[in-house]
Amino acid sequence: MTHLTLQAVTKRFHAAYAVDHVDLAVPDGKLVCFLGPSGCGKTTLLRIIAGLETASSGTVAFAGRDLTDVPANRRDFGMVFQSLALFPHMTVAQNIAYPLRLRRVGKEAEASRVAELLDLIRLPHMADRPVSRLSGGQRQRVAIARAIASSPKLLLLDEPLSALDAKLREAMQVEIRLLQQRLGITTIMVTHDQREAMTMADEIVVMEKGRIAQVGKPLDIYRNPVSEFVADFIGLGNILPVTLEGGDRIALPGGQQIVVDAAPPARGAAGDVRLLIRPEDVCMRTAVNGAVDPGPNVLAGKVAFIRDVGASLEATIDCAGVTLTAATTPRETPDLRIGMPVFAELPPHACKLIAARTAH
């Protein structure tokens, strides 16, 4: 069942479009991430859904009800912002109880709901501590507990983890995701961090200049991006300008021809097509004993740079006219050195052809 529906939602600030005719259906119980570079309209779109911003045109409907003229405080949505906006002079329990007070739920119901939420966020022992004396991750949890205290139908999160350091941020991504799944609460989260979106989302909405560039499951978008912009924004990728040589053959920038399984993109004519191959699909092997014929779809090159972070290893390989990144593990390629001759195989099934980014 679709919970939230956006139809042709548009927001203009003076002449500029911050959000440009966005159509979207958010299914019940899912976590959807709005992902895109700074200024692409993610926050504006979230604020329109929240009722904090009025759309210039278009409609927002929830469970079949048109919300366009319903004010934010009547929408029954929980929200967590980048700043968290907790009340620093209040305790953890008082912060969580705040929305319940506004609704006058009664002392007993309030106490039992606060206790339940404190358990849920694993902070029952900190009920009476002022939030100013909590760690970043604990504050984060309190903000989420407060946002869900009155059992909202939709949870809206705007970059809620951006103030946390990398390690805590990753831990909180898992924590929020597990909580969201346990509660089954439909959630929309804004982020500019593609790893965060890949970790947490059922569906990612990639935005570019106020428009939706692609909507899909994280791995589908990663595997089958519809454009160079999406391919570049989601994950690491080798993206090379290529020319179509007819049939299944393409020519790489250095002139070497390879075979691909993929059909050229519908919009792409020769000259504006890109080859996408992910680093984990580039099969790298050391060029032992100066082998002369490496075989089809194989480029001969030299290792130019190695990024070895222990669990994974990325090698930058300079081939004639082409620079490729290949991902392996230190275990698989223990003797890799800069300057070492290697072969990089581009398996035909892993080569995607996408339309080149158009300049606006």
Binding site for ligand ATP (CB under 6 A): 13, 18, 36, 38-44, 192
Best CA proximity match to 222, nearest among 188, 242, 194? 194
**With respect to ligand ATP, which residue has the nearer C-beta, 14 or 182?**
14
> 307: left (phi > 0), else alpha (psi -120 to 50), else beta?
beta
**With respect to ligand ATP, which residue has the nearer C-beta, 206 or 303?**
206
- The total number of residues shown for the chain amounts to 360
Residue pair 7/13 in contact by the 8 Å Cβ criterion: no
**What contacts 284, CB < 8 A, 6 or more positions away?**
315, 317, 326, 328, 333, 342, 343, 344, 345
> Smallest distance from the beta carbon of 193 to ligand ATP, in angstroms?
10
> Smallest distance from the beta carbon of 114 to ligand ATP, in angstroms?
32
**With respect to ligand ATP, which residue has the nearer C-beta, 18 or 353?**
18
**With respect to ligand ATP, which residue has the nearer C-beta, 41 or 160?**
41
Q: From CA 115, how far away is CA 96, in angstroms rounded?
A: 10
> Smallest distance from the beta carbon of 58 to ligand ATP, in angstroms?
15
Per DSSP, 264 falls in state P
Going by their DSSP bridges, the two strands 352-355 and 238-244 should be labelled as: unpaired
**With respect to ligand ATP, which residue has the nearer C-beta, 22 or 258?**
22
> Smallest distance from the beta carbon of 126 to ligand ATP, in angstroms?
31
> Smallest distance from the beta carbon of 354 to ligand ATP, in angstroms?
23
**With respect to ligand ATP, which residue has the nearer C-beta, 13 or 305?**
13
> Smallest distance from the beta carbon of 40 to ligand ATP, in angstroms?
4
Burial class (CB in 10 A: 0-12, 13-18, 19+), 296: exposed
